Structure 1
């Protein structure tokens, strides 16, 4: 499962670690807020509703930020925009340390969300275009493990600071530490080069500037909508369980706080493992089959949680399984979306499709709250989660298989051109847009 890494060349390894570190540090900065919520509620008399608004604001702004960063990356380069997004979300995490009210924090958190969504989109495209097709699923999918590591670092920092400092100071220091990711930019500037396939197309067509609405042009419009449907289902199901499962464990299954904490730790461990499992399955069996199988397994796991009488040991085991499956579906989107679109709009599509799914998926936890007024909490969770997983299966059936696709040979309509055919696309002006084959360094 891990042999693929040893076969990467130096440029691929450097790009991999740049994107892995960026995503992990992104997670660290983002999860700091979740860990500071109880303190902010106590210090500012902030309501739970306001805390929820802050969380939703970040997701919405991340959707916008992913699209904006993707558009800029298609125009000015993946590496340059990746650096900008890392500096952006780090700077606004630092500024959050100096806020003194709900309104001020909502502004800084919202602006931080722009960088959060942008970093993921640009990083996913950069690594997808750099890594060879034979191991792309495993390499890009494993980046999701960076999120689990970043989350874990945030938890450790939070524990250290809140155990040694007064709460009123600890949360500010925690956010101030969020400036550290900017150090990664210095390394990226010295070590990371532009993806070959993108560098070649910009060299051949330096004047080409795709419209911001290019992802909705007729050749790619339906692919865009189907990809958004896929990510909507993935994140809708994930957010449902991430948001409500701790409450369900405590209120419905009557687990103690210690047991709930143990469950969450095991769930995070499962999330780490899921990133590697999905990539291996996607490269071995195909992207579509992997999404369908994992979505069906998620439905079974959720049904077991919410309908079957389960004991504590079973709950903990299922926590690992569910974490693995949740991370697995999310991890698979990076490579798959990149393989669905031509190079000239690939970053824009990645930013829009990936992050729009996050934003729309955020309505599912709200739907659980609405339905739980008339149904038991477990039933409401099961309904919303299973509807989401059904959307994943539907989208996977409608979209094409892309395993092993050469990204320099993706036509404007999202289909793969024959290897012997001239690699070109037709852009808005009607002139041919050349895309040279990137060296694959296949052994």
Structure 2
């Protein structure tokens, strides 16, 4: 059986849900990564400090956590697909609003509101794909959907190259944010082609919309909730700390310029995409726990190697946020 045989065996509803979640996550990633790509330009244009630029990124991530909680509750009340539609519209609209910001405070508010939709989309999409795909394909399907993040990052990078070629930097960063409204069109696809998972409909008929937040912080789910929250906080926190500042670091600290930074990021994105697909395949082979363990060790080793490489001037690569 080929490595893609699982995809061929999916039913039409599974495939439609798969591609909708894939592109939802990809376009979510595009809107999120736009900010990291324009940080150097905004700092220069508005004379911001790296602390202020970091506050915007931090506010986005914190609000995305809140958005995940809200979307989770909504998904149990109004459905997975409807929640996915709302969150995509939300982050698309507020990404567009970012392009109109005139001050640091306005951009801070716009990105914070955008973060609610960003976190909510991830939550609704993950639940939807997890409930629709049959168990024997679930690990590979969910992991492959996650590879959409690398695709969205690549789309953001491509849009940056185009907009900064067409416009002066003071206008280009606004044009790049304006591109971020494009994901709103995906809502039309969701409305027409994707239905609620049968398991959700069955649960609604059986118990109604009675799920309460206290259930996941009570026995027997408390231990799972705490451990998975700690795991994802560490993994996601480490990723976003690096991904947010990597373009700025390469452009300002290493002097690569916008073109050199884009080329470097293209390699990182390609590696990210390969990692997602590899993890997706291994998830159903070695199990989720072993996969986390192996990739965590590999990530730690790469970070150590990355920060220890000596350059021609004898210095080492170090990543910092100012």
- Normalised TM-score (structure 2): 0.89
Residues 1:237 and 2:249 are matched in the alignment: no
Aligned to 1:105: 107
- Cα deviation code 1:201-240 (max 9, x no counterpart): 102222x422233221222111100001111221233345
CA contact (8 A) 1:37 1:51 kept: yes
Aligned to 2:203: 201
Choose the corresponding residue for 1:167, options 163, 166, 169.
169
Aligned to 2:292: 291
Aligned to 1:321: none
Aligned to 2:216: 215
CA contact (8 A) 1:24 1:148 kept: yes
SS at match of 2:175: helix
Choose the corresponding residue for 2:75, options 55, 73, 76.
73
Aligned to 1:43: 45
Structure 2 distance, partners of 1:273, 1:255, is 28
Aligned to 1:418: none
SS at match of 2:213: coil
SS at match of 1:143: helix
Query: Kindly tell me: are residues 97 and 198 of structure 1, through their superposed partners in 2, closer, same or farther at Cα, counting changes over 3 Å?
Result: same
For structure 2, the residue ranges without an aligned partner over 5 or more in a row are: none
Structure 2 distance, partners of 1:60, 1:277, is 29
Structure 2 distance, partners of 1:115, 1:12, is 24
SS at match of 1:100: coil
SS at match of 1:194: coil
Pairing 1:382-421 to 2, within 5 Å after superposition: none
Structure 2 distance, partners of 1:99, 1:278, is 39
Structure 2 distance, partners of 1:190, 1:249, is 43
Structure 2 distance, partners of 1:96, 1:250, is 22
CA contact (8 A) 2:36 2:243 kept: no
Structure 2 distance, partners of 1:220, 1:54, is 34
* Shift in Å, 1:306: 3.3
Query: Kindly tell me: are residues 95 and 126 of structure 1, through their superposed partners in 2, closer, same or farther at Cα, counting changes over 3 Å?
Result: same
CA contact (8 A) 1:248 1:377 kept: no
Between Structure 1 and Structure 2, which shows a larger proportion of helix residues? 2
* Shift in Å, 1:159: 1.5
* Shift in Å, 1:308: 6.1
Aligned to 1:121: 123
Structure 1 distance, partners of 2:233, 2:98, is 29
- Cα deviation code 1:389-422 (max 9, x no counterpart): xxxxxxxxxxxxxxxxxxxxxxxxxxxxxxxxxx
* Shift in Å, 1:144: 1.9
Aligned to 2:187: 185
SS at match of 1:219: coil
SS at match of 2:281: helix
For structure 1, the residue ranges without an aligned partner over 5 or more in a row are: 312-375, 382-443
CA contact (8 A) 1:72 1:81 kept: yes
Structure 2 distance, partners of 1:310, 1:164, is 34
Pairing 1:11-410 to 2, within 5 Å after superposition: 11-206=13-208, 208-242=209-243, 261-307=262-308
Query: Kindly tell me: are residues 246 and 21 of structure 1, through their superposed partners in 2, closer, same or farther at Cα, counting changes over 3 Å?
Result: closer
Aligned to 1:319: none
* Shift in Å, 1:170: 2.3
Query: Kindly tell me: are residues 308 and 168 of structure 1, through their superposed partners in 2, closer, same or farther at Cα, counting changes over 3 Å?
Result: closer
Please identify the structure whose Cα radius of gyration is greater. Answer: 1
SS at match of 1:46: coil
- Cα deviation code 1:313-357 (max 9, x no counterpart): xxxxxxxxxxxxxxxxxxxxxxxxxxxxxxxxxxxxxxxxxxxxx
* Shift in Å, 1:263: 3.4
Query: Kindly tell me: are residues 120 and 51 of structure 1, through their superposed partners in 2, closer, same or farther at Cα, counting changes over 3 Å?
Result: same
- Normalised TM-score (structure 1): 0.66
* Shift in Å, 1:173: 2.3
| Aligned alpha-carbon RMSD (Å) | 2.5
CA contact (8 A) 2:99 2:174 kept: yes
Structure 1 distance, partners of 2:213, 2:76, is 10
* Shift in Å, 1:248: 7.9
